[in-house]
């Protein structure tokens, strides 16, 4: 790849960057994110700059030291919310993803009880049950894409975790509206239409906004009804938010609860479903790992619980290795607010510091044989937070990280116990962009074999 040399002002501030136009760089990033990062790192080095059309200059860092400088740096210098600004029309201005400073600290503190260890572990049987119900729908000997099923599992889980187990008519409408909003084609068109402009783009945007308004109205109905009820005996996330009080004893505003509910619904299932689809691919591509994991799960016996599945150290290592090789969010964005040095380079206000999770996870000096799917590496040693960071880091680390890990372990463990799968179709999956995540092409095509263990026939 041709490289633009550093000269003039750029020699003092920016690392090398590809000799491509801003539009070409953006296209490469949108259509082949993993491959483009790898090519840039191979030709430009561990630190390089990219010019994203409409967003400005991003500086990609992959060394653990530089990543620590950014994620462990002053949050008043490295703003995370600004990097997520494109999501504001969808999630609202009160979303935790968009807040900075004191507002972010307050909101995060109010949300944290929803993701404590005890509350997360209470979801074990729900995760176990829903996964069993979904896998019973799979026919034998017929190829199918597993990602839609993982989306279905994660979707049902997040709805019940946020709102509770009731299956009311409004809850069904809310689920349908949520599914329509997160339709990948419409969502991506809506994102692009903000930038493209024009009459056609406006029509697509109007269609999306109409669906989003319907979803918001239903969420507000849930909030308003629940505000009149006693929440003490409930265990869902909405109940926690309604009961939350800040240090001054003030409750969350109606609009704040709405935006956080929408954020949790959107982020709490999309990334997990995609990671599970990658996980099934890696397991089925690695016969020895698949055999060991399945053997351990079957050894638990027929009466095991979701919590028992989650206790498997090997299964936890499998999940970590999945997230290492194919992080569904490949980079982290932090907008620089004042001049700062990172990795020997001077970043100016408005630039975006971008720790590259994908590249950091493939550094040979940190991970032996980095291209190999080898969960045992996580049994042999512990990696530092700036070496292995599938959920980001610092004060902006994903608030739902514990829940995501727990959910992935139980879903994969339940599948290993209940169905015997093999890959169908292409063996080397291409990473493709889906909403804000990077998903496996074709949704991971699999076949259910008849040697299934514990699951009932469909």
Which residues are annotated as part of the binding site?
Answer: 398
DSSP 8-state symbol, 251: B
Please tell me the distance from the alpha carbon of residue 370 to that of residue 365, in angstroms, as a whole number: 9
316-331 as b/e, with b when 16 or more CB fall inside 10 Å?
bbbbbbbbbbbbbbbb
Q: Which residue positions form the known binding site for heme?
A: 398
Strands 17-18 and 420-423: unpaired
What is the chain's length? 458
With contact defined as beta carbons under 8 Å apart, do 57 and 49 qualify? yes
Cα–chain center distance at 307:
23
Strand ranges for 314-362 from DSSP E: 334-336, 340-342, 345-347, 352-355
14-39 as b/e, with b when 16 or more CB fall inside 10 Å?
bbbbbebeeeebbebbeebbbebbee
Please tell me the distance from the alpha carbon of residue 101 to that of residue 115, in angstroms, as a whole number: 21
Place of tokens 């599992």: 153
Strands 56-61 and 352-355: parallel
Closest C-alpha to 153, from 280, 308, 293 = 280
With contact defined as beta carbons under 8 Å apart, do 50 and 57 qualify? yes
Count of C-beta atoms within a 10 Å radius of residue 12? 9
Count of C-beta atoms within a 10 Å radius of residue 60? 25
Q: In what order do the strands lie in the sheet with 420-423?
A: 144-145, 445-449, 420-423
With contact defined as beta carbons under 8 Å apart, do 191 and 208 qualify? no
Please tell me the distance from the alpha carbon of residue 367 to that of residue 383, in angstroms, as a whole number: 9
Please tell me the distance from the alpha carbon of residue 109 to that of residue 250, in angstroms, as a whole number: 13
Strands 78-79 and 334-336: antiparallel
């Amino acid at each position: 790849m041709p490289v633009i040399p550093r000269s003039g002002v750029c020699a003092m501030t920016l690392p090398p960057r590809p000799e491509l136009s801003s539009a070409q760089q953006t296209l490469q990033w949108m259509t082949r994110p993993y491959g483009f990062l790898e090519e840039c790192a191979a030709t430009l080095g561990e630190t390089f700059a990219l010019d994203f059309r409409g967003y400005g200059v991003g500086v990609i860092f992959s060394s653990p030291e530089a990543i620590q400088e950014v994620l462990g740096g002053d949050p008043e210098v490295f703003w995370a919310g600004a990097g997520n600004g494109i999501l504001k029309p969808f999630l609202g201005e009160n979303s935790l993803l968009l807040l900075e400073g004191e507002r972010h600290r307050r909101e995060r503190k109010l949300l944290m009880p929803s993701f404590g260890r005890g509350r997360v572990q209470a979801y074990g049987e729900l995760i176990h049950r829903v996964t069993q119900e979904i896998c019973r729908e799979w026919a034998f000997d017929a190829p199918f894409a597993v990602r839609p099923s993982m989306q279905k599992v994660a979707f049902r889980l997040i709805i019940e975790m946020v709102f509770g187990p009731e299956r009311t008519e409004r809850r069904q409408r809310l689920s349908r509206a949520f599914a329509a909003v997160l339709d990948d084609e419409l969502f991506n068109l809506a994102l692009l239409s903000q930038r493209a402009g024009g009459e056609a783009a406006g029509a697509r945007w109007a269609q999306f906004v109409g669906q989003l308004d319907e979803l918001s109205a239903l969420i507000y109905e849930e909030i308003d009804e629940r505000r009149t009820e006693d929440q003490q005996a409930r265990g869902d996330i909405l109940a926690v938010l309604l009961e939350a009080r800040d240090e001054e004893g003030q409750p969350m505003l109606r609009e704040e609860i709405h935006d956080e509910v929408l954020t949790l619904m959107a982020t709490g299932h999309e990334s997990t479903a995609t990671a599970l689809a990658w996980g099934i691919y890696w397991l089925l591509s690695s016969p020895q790992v698949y055999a060991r994991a399945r053997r351990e799960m079957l050894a638990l016996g027929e009466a095991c619980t979701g919590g028992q599945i989650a206790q498997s150290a090997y299964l936890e290592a499998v999940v970590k290795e999945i997230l290492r090789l194919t992080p569904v969010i490949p980079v982290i964005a932090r907008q620089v607010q004042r001049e700062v040095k990172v990795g020997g380079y001077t970043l100016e206000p408005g630039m975006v510091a971008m720790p590259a999770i994908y590249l950091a996870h493939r550094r040979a000096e940190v991970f032996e044989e980095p291209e190999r799917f080898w969960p045992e590496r996580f049994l042999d040693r512990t990696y530092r937070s700036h070496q292995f960071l599938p959920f980001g880091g610092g004060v902006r680390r994903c608030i739902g990280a514990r829940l995501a890990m727990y959910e992935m372990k139980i879903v994969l463990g339940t599948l290993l116990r209940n169905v015997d799968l093999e890959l169908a179709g292409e063996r080397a999956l291409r990473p493709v962009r889906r909403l804000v995540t990077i998903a496996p092409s074709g949704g991971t095509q699999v076949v259910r074999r008849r040697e299934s263990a514990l699951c009932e026939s469909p």
